[in-house]
């Protein structure tokens, strides 16, 4: 059992959740005002001068802002937020036939998927099914995985741990269309990743590249971690989230076991800070001065809330306790922005890529998205 110091009476979590969601509605209303006059663009982060940085629909993070607006509409029932969600979602439609990226789960399922869940809009369903078809063209049967990136460096067929996050989208396509090829792709990808991406301690590599002829592993490396053998924090969070979803969608115990092992590895890691927001890499050489990654903390919190419902009571309580700690930390002034500041993003202090010297200690749309998702999930539990 995790023991957290309790030197003073804490605010009830219900209050923190409601206050954070209400704040997010206000902050993202400001962001919407700015974005509505920027056709085709979506928010991405801020630059070193604090100015908004945007991205086109083809950037991997395009779906997070519309997805957050859908969650905030679900929370607030505010028609203005719904209109904004529809507008921002429409900006991504052209990606539905994009076979040049594996990030369609993030781009389309978070935006159109949440929109479809909340409105039943049939045109969203068509767009999603087109997107799922496009994504499935990247499945490589000889390897058993969806290809992440194109051939580069010495990588013939790179598959990154983040790719586990596409499976929820394809499992949705299976449930809607009844096409079992989506199910088979998901199970094959999850099983192959389980076999090749993880070390014996359940930490994961970032990139595993496969030989396209033999289907065998070529190399195990990193693009965003501190070193090939280090433990890149967001990658661990993607894996945790992905296997939790795969257990929800298939009921296969091996995915639950994997999610539990990943969760336990992260929670009990000696380099996990007391406030439960990971350093950008569990083995970052600069620890304890290493940058934190709020996005990893938010993704982990959201996954742990779901996982807490799937395990025995003692483990479930532990996972929920960690998620609650993460939400309290992220909702505090250490991480949560002031109204109108931080480029109108919600959370501060995320890391895109330290090796790439890009988006270091900045707000990121996906940190906001999983923070809002986690708040909503915890709220649903309490209700």
Residue 224 beta carbon to ligand GLY: minimum distance, rounded to whole angstroms? 6
* Residue 376 to residue 71: CA distance in whole angstroms: 8
Of 75 and 225, the one with the shorter C-beta distance to ligand GLY is 225
Is 179 noted as a catalytic residue in this protein?
Answer: no
Task: Give the active site residue among 18, 47, 97, 103.
Answer: 103
Which residue, chain included where needed, has tokens 């959201």?
302
Residue 287 beta carbon to ligand GLY: minimum distance, rounded to whole angstroms? 20
Strands 52-55 and 207-210: unpaired
Q: Which two tokens stand for residue 132?
A: 């799922």
Count, residues in the chain: 383
Residue 248 beta carbon to ligand GLY: minimum distance, rounded to whole angstroms? 21
Residue 374 beta carbon to ligand GLY: minimum distance, rounded to whole angstroms? 17
Residue 161 beta carbon to ligand GLY: minimum distance, rounded to whole angstroms? 9
Is 103 noted as a catalytic residue in this protein?
Answer: yes
Task: Give the active site residue among 18, 78, 162, 312.
Answer: 162
Using alpha carbons, select from 317, 188, 202 the residue that is nearest to residue 260: 202
* Interface residues toward ligand GLY, by CB under 6 A: 60, 162, 224, 234
* Residue 302 to residue 307: CA distance in whole angstroms: 9
Respond yes or no on whether the N-terminal peptide bond of residue 348 is cis (omega within 30° of 0): no
Check if the beta carbon of residue 370 is closer than 8 Å to that of residue 302.
yes
Check if the beta carbon of residue 297 is closer than 8 Å to that of residue 277.
yes
Of 235 and 376, the one with the shorter C-beta distance to ligand GLY is 235
The residue whose Cβ lies closest to ligand GLY is 162
Of 57 and 224, the one with the shorter C-beta distance to ligand GLY is 224
- In sequence order, what DSSP letters do the residues of 302-332 get, joined into one string? HHHHHHTTTS-HHHHHHHHHHHHHHHHHHHS
Of 234 and 348, the one with the shorter C-beta distance to ligand GLY is 234
Strands 350-353 and 358-362: antiparallel
Of 106 and 139, the one with the shorter C-beta distance to ligand GLY is 106
Distances (CA, A) of 6 to 1, 10, 16, 182, 268: 15, 8, 17, 47, 19
Residue 102 beta carbon to ligand GLY: minimum distance, rounded to whole angstroms? 9
Cα dihedral 280/155/92/351 (nearest 10) = 10
Of 25 and 63, the one with the shorter C-beta distance to ligand GLY is 63
Question: H-helix or E-strand containing 43?
Answer: strand 42-46
Residue 146 beta carbon to ligand GLY: minimum distance, rounded to whole angstroms? 13
Distances (CA, A) of 97 to 91, 281, 305, 382: 14, 34, 33, 40
Q: CB neighbours of 126 closer than 8 A, spacing ≥ 6?
A: none
* Residue 231 to residue 358: CA distance in whole angstroms: 19
Of 224 and 321, the one with the shorter C-beta distance to ligand GLY is 224
Residues catalogued as catalytic: 103, 162
């Amino acid at each position: 059992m995790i023991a957290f110091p309790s030197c003073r009476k804490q605010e009830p979590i219900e209050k923190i959740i409601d206050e954070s969601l209400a704040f997010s509605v206000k902050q993202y209303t400001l962001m919407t005002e700015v974005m509505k006059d920027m056709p085709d663009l979506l928010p991405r982060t801020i630059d070193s001068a604090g100015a908004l940085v945007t991205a086109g629909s083809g950037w991997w993070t395009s779906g997070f802002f519309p997805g957050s607006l859908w969650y905030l509409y679900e929370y607030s029932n505010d028609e203005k937020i719904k209109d904004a969600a529809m507008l921002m979602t429409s900006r991504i439609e052209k990606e539905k036939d994009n076979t040049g990226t594996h990030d369609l789960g993030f781009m389309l399922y978070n935006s159109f998927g949440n929109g479809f869940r909340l409105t039943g809009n049939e045109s969203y369903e068509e767009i999603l099914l087109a997107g799922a078809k496009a994504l499935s063209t990247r499945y490589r049967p000889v390897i058993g995985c969806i290809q992440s990136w194109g051939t580069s460096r010495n990588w013939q067929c790179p598959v990154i741990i983040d790719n586990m996050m596409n499976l929820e989208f394809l499992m949705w396509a299976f449930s809607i269309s009844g096409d079992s090829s989506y199910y088979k792709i998901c199970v094959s990808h999850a099983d192959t990743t389980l076999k090749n991406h993880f070390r014996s301690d359940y930490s994961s590599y970032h990139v595993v590249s496969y030989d396209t002829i033999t289907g065998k592993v070529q190399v195990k490396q990193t693009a965003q971690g501190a070193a090939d053998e280090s433990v890149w924090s967001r990658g661990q969070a993607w894996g945790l989230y992905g296997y939790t979803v795969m257990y929800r969608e298939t009921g296969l115990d091996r995915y639950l076991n994997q999610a539990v092992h990943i969760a336990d590895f992260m929670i009990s890691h000696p380099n996990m800070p007391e406030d439960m927001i990971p350093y950008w890499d569990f083995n970052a050489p600069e620890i304890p001065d290493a940058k934190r990654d709020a996005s990893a903390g938010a993704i982990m919190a959201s996954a742990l809330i779901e996982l807490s419902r799937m395990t025995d009571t003692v483990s479930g309580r532990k996972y929920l306790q960690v998620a609650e700690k993460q939400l309290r930390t992220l909702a505090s002034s250490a991480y949560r922005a002031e109204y109108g500041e931080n480029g109108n993003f919600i959370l501060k202090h995320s890391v895109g890529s330290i090796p790439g010297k890009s988006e270091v200690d900045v707000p990121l749309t996906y940190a906001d998205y999983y923070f809002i998702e986690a708040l909503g999930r915890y709220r649903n539990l309490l209700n």
